[in-house]
Structure 1
Amino acid sequence: MIIRHPLILLLICIPLFYSCAQGEAKEISKQHKINGISFVAAGDTLQQDHIKPVLDLNANYAAVMPFGFIRSLDHPELAYNANRQWFGETFIGVKQYVDLLHHNKIKVMLKPQIWVSKGEYTGNVKMENEEAWTLLEKTYSSFILDFAKLAEESQVDMFCIGTELEKFIEHRPEYWEQLIKNIRAVYKGKLTYAANWDEYKRVPFWKSLDYVGIDAYFPVSESKTPSLEECKIGWMRWKEELKAFSEKEQRQILFAEYGYRSVDYAGKEPWKSDRSMTTVNLEAQVNTTQALYEEVWSESWFAGGFLWKWFIDHNKVGGIENSQFTPQNKPAENMIRQFYQK
């Protein structure tokens, strides 16, 4: 049958057009995933030689991470931008890092973080009285807003308002809502917060941000050397929860950190940085990381993530005898390169 009436032709073509447009949108979404790295600050300036391995990895985003320091979990004063810090953690250093990354067409998430003396877990930062809470709020606001202003000046693409601060948020939720408003007043880019993998459901302010940020250390296997298939099965439960949460909050999920160590039992408690875990297992790192990519990366509710972690002096870090998180100069690096290229 030949249809000649223009209105009928239009009614037939409209669904076809939308079908094609939706397919194109999904393809564009896949192409624009955040294929990021967590770029560790160093004591010297960033050089083009340091950027080349990032480009070779096919990364399109880097998290720049200046630290502020507190003496203990109940100490309210935060020190930052100090002379004794790494150059890459100071205002001048952060700007230099951002400018060179941008020059190489690598987008940036600025992610200021707290470091507690002796490496204690920041999620347990908790003050003992109202006076101490008020002082912590004052010093944390100065820390975050100073870097938010720098982020705006440097045209940073995304800003992370905090990392794994569960008790701080639990006890002072009104403060965080006001802080977000204050950040929005000085910074116009996208905002997220980096919640720990077992914290994110209790964060009360996701709808005030642009992404649900998660440090994605979800356990996926209890095996010494987990197989790829075992790790993929291990992701099934978490994928269902993440999808449902994304729909509830109407925000995409962003892995503000993700990664696995090259050790035995890498998928059992992936958050552990215990120095006593020294038995190198390169296969475990490859399988756990690849499973995450194959199970999560193509999901429409997922925005992408930042690999933990990447050091500037590429030729002197990682390697096949290294048991830590970095994939540099290990079999996992080549696998990540191939995946990011897709």
Structure 2
Amino acid sequence: MKKIFGIAVLVLVCVGLFLGAFNSWSADPAPESKVIPKMKGGVLTSWYPSDYESNTVEQTLRQMKKDGCEYVAVMIVGYQDSVNSTRVYSLDGKSPTKAGIIHVTNYAHSLGLKVFFKPQINITNSDAWCGTITFIKEEDWISWFKSYKDFIGYYLDLAQSLKVEGFIIGTELVGTEDREADWRDVVSMSRSKFPDGLISYCANHDSYFRIKWWDAVDFIGISAYFKLTESYQPSVPEIISAWQPWINDLAAFSAEQKKDIVFLEIGYQSRDGANTNPNWAPTKTPDLQEQADCYEAAFKALSNQPWLKDMFWWMWYWDPIQNVDGFDIYTKPAEKILRKWYRGN
């Protein structure tokens, strides 16, 4: 009887050890909670391969530093042929070169700026938005995620080698976001390649609350193009008031998820009515004051929100030229607003 009992105990111990080992293989550990710093940032943009290699981009980075930016998100554009194509790739003649990415990263670091890599997908020869990428067949989803992981995997390796501070694993890929298991796999792969920095995802302003896998990343990233007033000539107090419902929703979501939020994109064209539809203004009439007022209102409404770890302003074009009605702020009144809030003067 003692012999049988001893064998039974031994079997139970072995089973327990096996199950413990199985669980450790089959489930990724919860990400270690990281302190999310305040990020006074801007998004550096380019749509051509050699822009980031130029000396001109250094002028833009110096201006960002002068205006008080502490972080720069380097946009890295990838492509696919259509919203139903399963191949994601760097496009010759469009995507930035490796030499250019290394150049802007090293130069930004030399200025004391911290760097995020921010890949995002454009559709080749089309105005279609990456948020409409979707598939019907399961095999197409499998192929797309494999290709997407290969695409960002290259830049994750580069980010790790350059000691980049953070990596945004995707931007506004709304049609893919309900693929929870696939995105958790993307996060797991990203952490294995880029273990030292912060990892997040940039969700659109109208989809962030549907994502079920925020627990896997370090903070909630949002493209914050929230519609504000319906006026083409709003006052700053009116714009601030229009922020309040969005602030209430975001505060509640941050508390529910137990995660800080970073606006990985926020910006306004210098056009009349920009506040009514910030991701693309309804008119092409230049209005530099409305852009400045939107900046002022955003800073006043958001700067003391405890759940918000600041904002990356869209956009800082690699070449510091003034596009009279674009998102850029170089030499516009909005630049003075940014400098006042970021530098205090």
Tell me if TM exceeds 0.5. Answer: yes
Residue 266 (structure 2) pairs with residue 258 (structure 1): yes
- Partner amino acid, structure 1, of 2:219: Y
Question: Counterpart of 1:341?
Answer: 343
Show CA shifts across 1:196-229 (max 9, x none): 0000001111111111000000111111111100
Amino acid at match of 2:100: G
Aligned sequence identity (%)? 29
The alignment status of 1:161 with 2:169, answered yes or no, reads yes
1:54 aligned to which of 46, 64, 78: 64
Aligned residue in 2 for 1:238: 246
Tell me if the contact between 1:225 and 1:281 (Cα under 8 Å) persists in the aligned partners: no
Q: Is the 8 A contact 1:36 1:307 kept in 2?
A: yes
Q: Distance in 2 between matches of 1:236 and 1:339?
A: 20
Spell out, residue by residue over 1:262-308, the C-alpha distance to the aligned partner (whole angstroms, 9 max, x if none).
1111111111267xx31011111111111111111221111011100
What is the CA distance between 1:85 and its match in structure 2?
2.5
Partner of residue 278 from structure 2, selected from 258, 261, 270: 270
Amino acid at match of 1:67: V
Larger CA deviation: 37-46 vs 144-153? 37-46
* Higher Cα radius of gyration: 2
CA distance, structure 1, for counterparts of residue 271 and residue 92 of structure 2 = 36
Structure 2 letter corresponding to 1:91: K
- Contact in 2 for aligned 1:66/1:90 (Cα 8 Å): no
Deviation at 1:313, TM superposition (A): 2.0
How far does residue 46 in structure 1 lie from its aligned partner after superposition? 4.1
Give the aligned partner of residue 100 of structure 1: 107
Deviation of 1:73 (Å): 0.8
**CA–CA separation in structure 1 for the residues paired with 2:60 and 2:157:** 26
> Per the alignment, in what secondary structure is the counterpart of residue 310 of structure 1?
strand
2:311 corresponds to which residue?
305
The question of 1:217 aligning with 2:225 is answered: yes
Structure 2-normalised TM-score?
A: 0.84
2:271–2:281 Cα contact (<8 Å) kept: no
Aligned amino acid, residue 333 of structure 1: E
Summarize the alignment of residues 67-146 of structure 1 with structure 2, pairs less than 5 Å apart: 67-80=77-90, 82-86=91-95, 89-117=96-124, 118-146=126-154
Which whole-Å CA distance do the structure 2 matches of 1:162 and 1:126 have between them?
15
Give secondary structure in 2 for the equivalent of 1:177: helix
Q: C-alpha separation between the residues in 1 aligned to 2:65 and 2:276?
A: 31
- Large movers: runs of 4+ above 4 Å: none
Once superposed, what is the RMSD of the aligned Cα atoms?
Answer: 1.7
Which residues in structure 2 correspond to 1:308-323 (within 5 Å)?
308-314=314-320, 316-318=321-323, 322-323=324-325
> Which residue of structure 2 aligns with residue 183 of structure 1?
190
Structure 2: any 5+ residue segments left out of the alignment?
1-34
Q: Equivalent residue for 2:44?
A: 39
| Residue 324 of structure 1: aligned partner | 326
Alpha-carbon distance between aligned partners in 2 of 1:273 and 1:99, rounded to the nearest angstrom: 35
Among 181, 185, 202, the residue aligned to 2:210: 202
Q: Is the Cα–Cα contact under 8 Å of residues 61 and 108 in structure 2 kept in the other structure?
A: yes
Deviation, 1:121, is 1.4
Following superposition, the deviation at residue 251 of structure 1 comes to 0.9
Q: Show CA shifts across 1:10-50 (max 9, x none).
A: xxxxxxxxxxxxxxxxxxx99x6211111012533143433
Listed one character per residue, the Cα deviations across residues 304-329 of structure 1 (whole Å, up to 9, x for unaligned) are 11100011221x333xxx11111112
Do the aligned partners of 1:226 and 1:288 also contact (CA within 8 Å) in 2? no
Q: Per the alignment, in what secondary structure is the counterpart of residue 65 of structure 1? A: strand
- For 2:281 and 2:244, the matched residues in 1 are separated by 25
Note the residue ranges of structure 1 that are not aligned, 5 or more in a row.
1-28
In the TM superposition, what whole-angstrom CA distance separates every residue of 1:74-121 from its partner, at most 9, and x where no partner exists? Answer: 1111121x43235xx222221211111001100011001100131311
What is the aligned length?
303
CA contact (8 A) 1:46 1:100 kept: no
Q: Offset at 1:332?
A: 0.7
- 1-structure distance, mates of 2:173, 2:241: 30
SS class of match (1:115): strand
1:288 aligned partner:
294
